[in-house]
Amino acid sequence: MEERLQKILARAGYGSRRACETIIAANRVQVNGHLASLGDKADPERDRITVDGRPLKVAEELVYIALHKPRGVLSAVEAPDSRPTVRDLVALPGRFYPVGRLDVDSEGLILLTNDGQLANHLTHPRFGHRKVYRVLVARHPDEEQLATFRRGVVLEDGYRTEPADVYVERLQGKGAWLMVTLREGRKRQIRETCAQLGLPVVRIVRVSIGSLRLGTLKPGQWRHLTAAEVEALRRPADDAPAGERRAAPRQRPGSPAPSHQVIPSRSPRKSPQRHGG
C-alpha cells in the first residue's frame, strides 16, 4: 500500500514527519532512482527508497524513554560545543531523538524516542497535547498578571500566544511557584511571557507531556515507558481520563499551599536509572 514518503521515513526512524519533510525537501530522498518531492507516495514493500544514496533502513525496535533533563544540558542529539546533550545521559545504542524540547536553562521531562509518528502526534499543534510546567518567579503575581498570562500576550516577534492555564501553586518567600499548562511550545515562551508581565523567572521544571508524568525521576535519571504509557500517549489529547485533565484546583495568591503533590504519578513505572545505569 502506498503511503506518503514522510510517514514511511518517520516510521523507519529518520525523525518526526516534519523532520522527514525537511529531508525530502533537501533532495536527499529518491524512489526507484528518481528524486522525490514533497507529497510523493511510495510502497516500502515494492519501491526502492534511498536516503542520501543508502537504502531505507529496516525499521528499528521502537524505544520510548522518559528523562529528567537537568539544567545546563542541551535538548539535542549533538551539541555545537562541549556542553552535554540529553543523548549523552542515556547510554543505550541506537538512534532516538528528543520530543518536546526545553531550553538549556530549563529542566524536567523530555521524551526520547525513535517513533517518528508518535513524535509528530505529540508536537504538531493541531493535536493540542498539554505540557505542564512548574515555574518559580521572583515576585508574587497579582490577579491582573495571571489573567493576562491566561488570555495570551504578544511576544517581541509579534506572535500572540494561545490562552494558557495558570495558577499559583504556592508562595515561596518573595516569589511564587506557578503551575502553567500550555498547548503550544514556542521557544522560551514562558520566560518571555513572564518577562513582559514583570515576573522574572528563577526556575522552570516541566512535569508532564500529554499523559506522561515526570513523577519521581531526579535530574539526570531516565527510565523506559511502560506499554500502557505509550498507548496513552497515542490517544487524542482530550481522551485522557477526567482525573488526568486537571492536576489541581486554581489557587489564589496568598492561600495555603497544598499538602499533596500537584501532578500525581498514576502509571506503574520501572525503576529509574541514572545516566544509563
Catalytic sites, residue numbers: 103
Region class of 119: left (phi > 0), else alpha (psi between -120 and 50), else beta: alpha
**Residue 194: helix, strand or coil by DSSP?**
helix
**Residue corresponding to grid cell 500566544:** 161
Region class of 162: left (phi > 0), else alpha (psi between -120 and 50), else beta: beta
Question: What's the length of the chain?
Answer: 277
What cell does 52 get?
Answer: 542520501
Nearest to 267 by CA among 77, 64, 115, 19: 64
- In contact, 15 and 29? CB cutoff 8 Å: no
Q: How far is CA 239 from CA 67, 131, 231, in A?
A: 24, 15, 12
Residues 6+ apart with CB under 8 A from 109: 66, 67, 68, 69, 100, 206, 207, 208, 209, 212, 213, 214, 217
Nearest to 13 by CA among 65, 77, 57: 57
What cell does 261 get?
Answer: 503533590
Residues 6+ apart with CB under 8 A from 147: none
188/155 Cα distance (integer angstroms): 10
**Residue corresponding to grid cell 489564589:** 252
